[in-house]
Each structure stands twice: as C-alpha cells, then as structure tokens.
Amino acid sequence: MPAAFSGQRLQCLLLLLPLLCTRVSGGSPAESAVTTQDSNQTEVNPVTKMQAGHESSGNSVATERLKPASKQNSQSVSGHEIVLSGASVEKDIPVPSSTKIELTCKLDENSDLKDPQVTWKKGSETISHTSKTQNSWTIELTISDKSHLGSYTCFLKGEKEISAVFHLQVPNLEGRKKPIISYEGDKAVMVCKTEYNPKSWIWYMNVTNGTGRVSIDKVLPTDKFLIKIKSAEVSRLEILKLTKEDGGVYWCEASFDLGTSETRFELRVLSITTPLKPFMAVVIEVAVLVITIALLEVCSKRKGKRGEKEFDQIEKL
C-alpha cells in the first residue's frame, strides 16, 4: 500500500469522481455534482414566467443564485446588489432568519441608459429609496415576517425600461430529483440538506388509505423509520425492512424563522429478481462466448494436426 493517504489526497479524488461522472454522461446532470442547480429549477420557473412580462430589450434573462459567504444573524445587515447594463436580471436571495436587508440596483457606466427614473416596487406597492447615489439606488428592508418575503423589483425607466428583481425567499432544500431505488428487505436512505440552519425538520409520507400526508413521527411501528440528524443542516431518513408498499413519495420539510421549505423524494422498491434477469442474461452470454471460442480452437487444432500429418507424410516421401 502506498504512502500517505492524506486528507487532501482524498479530496482530490473527491474532485475527480463527480467530475468524471458529469463528463462522460455528456453533461447530463449527475446527482453528485449538480444538485444545487436542480433544486433551483423548480423555484425559478414561476419567476421566469413573471419576468416575461417585464422583458423589454429582448435580451436573455439571467438568473443568479446568491449564497452569502457567512450565515447572518438577525442583527447584521446583508447587502445584495445587481448591476444592470442592458438586460433585466433576477436574483434569488435565501433568507433563513429575520434580518435587515439592503437591496441595491446599480447602473453600469457603459450602459446606454442615462439618468433613468427609478422606482422600487413589491408587487403593486411602491417602496421609497433609502439612499441614492449617482447611479445606484438602495432600499433597506426589515424582514421579520413571512409577508415580507417576495419579489422586489427596481424599475429603471429611460428611453427603455429595464428591471432587476430580487426574490427574497426561504432557503431551498437539496434533495434527489431522480427516484431512489432500493430492494425489498434492504433499507432506503433519504438525505435532505440545506446550507442554513433550520429550526426543525419534519418528514412526511403519504397516508396509506386515502389522500394527504402524515408526519412520519406519528407513524407506527417506530422501528421502521429512523430519522438521524447529524448536523443542523442535514436530516437523514432511513426506512428499514422495505416492502413494495413502501414505495412512493416522501417529503422533507424544514422550518425556518420565516416559513417552511420542502423537497420531495420518490422511492421505488424493486424485488431482487429485477436485476437478476439482466445478470443471468449477461452470464449466459459470456458462457456461450467462452464455449464457442473453446470449440473453435479445438476444431482448428484438429484440422492443424491433420494437415501436419499430411505434410509429414509428404516430407517423408
């Protein structure tokens, strides 16, 4: 065994592995690498529909995900800025707890738009500027309640109108888009992650008879489900002794100060015979190939020996 297996060495393999799986799948989102983007997709769609109404210059709408470097406590003020040049821009801003936020719209110096008229709006309600400079306009918001979340837009009106939208929302959860597959008798594990610290986690499953969903805490028997919380940001549901009926949809919900956020998992339980069929097919194919090759060899050897005997006879003559 070679020398030092340092932490970095494994980190390097850590880098290698997800990238190799994204690379040759031709860019299809492999689970290991792209989950953040995946979980954003559902959030963004309703927003882009809204944006279609605002679009003016016909440029593409850029959507950014903003991750503040450090987690904010309710005392600090965090600032978010969008720099506009010619196109409308949107930003998702996760707000895990009550805090004060400053939103700034800045006009790029190279932009054609000069001295625009700027209005900040949330929905139909206009908000007055907190501060203003030559080409940036800021509002300060105190987010302490669910109703304060939403989309805040700054409109810059000149010869044309462009806008920047800040989507203030509860942080997203990272789950699994594709179904989780497990086998009867085995266990299934669902891991729900977020970047911030929620107050609590709840897992839901579908009610067996009827519609709606029930919290897994309340489901009996209690040894079938194990909820482990390794750290504040990760919650792990283990379903033991799987049966076919355990397949279906499960939800993971995290409560933050300002609301809840959830993500969905789908579980498929397969019987052991499902992979056995392709397995046996491949094994039989291999056996057939090996036997064919062996037979061909034996046959050609016999022909060779016969040919040799003839040759030797001719030589003797």
The site that binds other proteins (CB under 8 A) totals a number of residues, namely: 65
- Interactions with other proteins, residue window 278-317 (CB under 8 A): 278-280, 282-283, 286, 289-290, 293-294, 297, 301, 307-308, 311
- Interactions with other proteins, residue window 83-142 (CB under 8 A): none
The nearer residue to other proteins, 107 or 180, going by C-beta atoms, is 180
CB of 295 to other proteins, least distance (A): 11
- Using alpha carbons only, what angle is made at residue 255 by residues 233 and 199, rounded to the nearest 5 degrees? 60
DSSP 146: G
The nearer residue to other proteins, 39 or 138, going by C-beta atoms, is 39
Q: What angle separates helix 31-54 from helix 7-24, to the nearest 10 degrees?
A: 60
Distance of alpha carbon 135 from the chain centroid: 36
CB of 50 to other proteins, least distance (A): 25
Contact 224, 187 (CB under 8 A): no
Burial of residue 61 (number of CB atoms within 10 Å: 0-12, 13-18, 19+): middle
- Interactions with other proteins, residue window 1-30 (CB under 8 A): 1-28, 30
- Interactions with other proteins, residue window 239-278 (CB under 8 A): 270, 274-276, 278
The nearer residue to other proteins, 21 or 127, going by C-beta atoms, is 21
Contact 217, 202 (CB under 8 A): yes
Burial of residue 292 (number of CB atoms within 10 Å: 0-12, 13-18, 19+): exposed
Residue ranges in contact with other proteins by CB under 8 A: 1-28, 30-34, 37, 178, 180-183, 186-187, 189, 191, 228, 230, 236, 270, 274-276, 278-280, 282-283, 286, 289-290, 293-294, 297, 301, 307-308, 311
